[in-house]
Structure formats: C-alpha cells, structure tokens
Structure 1
Amino acid sequence: MLIETPRLLIREFEKADTPALSKILGDPSVMEFSSKGILTEADTAEFIDWSRSCYRELGYGQWAMIGKESGELIGFCGLSHATVDGTGEVEIAYRLARHQWGKGLASEAVKAVLDYGFTTCNLPSIVGIVSPLHTASIRVLEKCGFTSFHETDYSGWKVRVYRMK
C-alpha cells in the first residue's frame, strides 16, 4: 500500500483493475469534464499501462483508490505530467465512482496525495486543472488548500489552473 487514509487505501494499479476502473471511466457523469472523454475498456487498460510506466519512470502516477470498508476500487487519484501554456507541470488528477460522490472521499484522497507529492517526491509545485463549470471539483481543490488560479485553454477546454507550492 502506498498511502492509507482513514477511509481509503491508495495503491498502484494492477492489470486486474481494468474491468472495475472501466465501469467508472465509462460513466458519462464521471467523465463529463474529462478532456479524454468516456473511456472504453481498451482505453482504460492503456491508462493503467501508462500509469504503471509512470511509477517506474517518475516514482509517481495515477493510483487506484480503494474503499477500506468494502475493498472496492472506487476511482483513482494521483500525480502526472501535464503541459500547461507550454510549461511542464505536475498535475493532481482524480475520478471517483458516481455512487461515492458527496462523501468527502475525493478531498481525503487529494490531501493525502498532495502530502505524498510534496514530502516523498519533493515536488516544488503541483497544479489542479479544472473546468470552471465543474463546481464539485473546484470545491475539492479549494477544500484541499488550492486558492488562486488563472484561466487558460487546455486540451481544447477553458480551464482554471490552480497551483500549490
């Protein structure tokens, strides 16, 4: 286990996670504000392979979020590289199964992953990239300590880019 919170276990993805994650990333509600759109099971398998390569190359990536009580894969939260306005950044990203929304789990995961990024990975800065229409995700970032942002275009979307140092 990489990170443990009161209600979550955050660990590296395994290939066996593909079907469960595919159900989440194939949900139009979950992926409404994703620049990648709805993912197929094959797309999800590629995402997991990419995440696993990031662990080896960078020491971090997108990680599986497991509900402690249920043992169920309920989403992902992690760190990855993004290019924003021509500059390489480390971005925090997360997706949560719809039936887990509204319980504070995304904020719990984000806080733990930010701590890991700053203390274990010694990252100087982490950004959060979010559509200004995605009010729930904005609340998660702000609840976790992101305060200021600038607006820009990212992957064809108008977004807010929050930064934490």
Structure 2
Amino acid sequence: MMVTETERVLIRELENSDTPALSKILGDPSVMEFSSKGVLTEADTAKFIEGCRSSYQEQGYGQWALIDKQSGALIGFCGLSNATVDGGEVVEVAYRLAQAEWGKGLASEAAIKVLEYGFAKCNIESIVGIVSLRHVASIRVLEKIGFQAFSETQYGGWDVRVYRLNKHILRIL
C-alpha cells in the first residue's frame, strides 16, 4: 500500500517480496555500520519486514519501503518505529539507503515526508532521531530536516544523540 511520495521516491509499505532486495541493502556492512542490530541476513530481513507489517496494523506506522520513481527499484527504507530511550517510550524516525544512493539528499527528502505523515496522519506529538555521535552524515540529515536540540545518552550500546522534533515546530519550518 502506498503511504506517500516525494519528488523522486515512492514511500509504501514493505512487502514480503521485498526481502531479497532489502536484504542486499541491510546485508551491506557500510549501510549497517551504525545500526545497533548490525548486518542482517536474509532471514533477519524477513523478520524485520514482518515486524514492520505488524506495526502498520498495530500502530498505523512503521518502516516503509523507498522506491526510486525512475527505476522502480527498492533503494532503502524510511519510517517511524517505537523505541525506549532512557526508560521512556518514544517514536523515532529512521532510514537506511543503499550505498549507491548516498549523498543525493534522498534520506532528507523521505524523512520530511515521513515526519509530516507521523504528525498529520498518526497525530504523533513528538518524534525523535537517534544517531551515533560518530555518524556525521546522519546528524546532517536530522539537522537539515529541522531537528536541533538534542541530548546525549546510551542506546543499544552506543553513545548517541537523541534529537527531538515536536509537532508544532514542523508547521513553522
């Protein structure tokens, strides 16, 4: 099912048939360098997709497939998921792109649409971005799309920044 779109990317629900293509992306050590889950196997990717599909039903959101409009290829994911940070429940925006898609502004483009969806359609009041202190590119993405204030903590064994964006702030941007 289609969720939303950007100028260059369709954002839709992940499907079981996406497993092989997404597995190639999530099996790339460069893509998964800053993931607390590490490199995923095809079986791990299938479980990830199953979890996303459950989240769509239970929460109305999850991680969604990013499909290049020109080629029709699955190039990664971007979406919303629940997380526990410092004992508190939060909704986080997350994204992973195939290495060939890095540096094109696609993560920012998709994340903005995902934030809009979360705030408008899911009525989420606050969304966080959780990023390793060493993941400079992802920090740039979050700051580019409007995240500014952050705290530092431990998450999944990593030293991270937890950026927060509130619903009323996005309307101003």
Deviation at 1:82, TM superposition (A): 0.2
1:20 aligns with 2:32: no
Mapped to 2, the partners of 1:108 and 1:74 lie a distance apart of 13
Alignment of 1:1-165 (within 5 A): 1-165=2-166
Q: Which segments of 5 or more consecutive residues in structure 2 lack a partner in the other structure?
A: 167-173
TM-score by length of 2: 0.95
Paired amino acid for 2:162 = V
Deviation at 1:43, TM superposition (A): 0.1
CA RMSD across the alignment: 0.4
SS of alignment partner, residue 115 of structure 1: helix
SS of alignment partner, residue 2 of structure 1: strand
Count of residue correspondences: 165
Mapped to 2, the partners of 1:138 and 1:8 lie a distance apart of 21
TM-score by length of 1: 0.99
Paired amino acid for 1:11 = R
Mapped to 1, the partners of 2:138 and 2:109 lie a distance apart of 13
Identity fraction in percent: 72
Paired amino acid for 1:97 = A
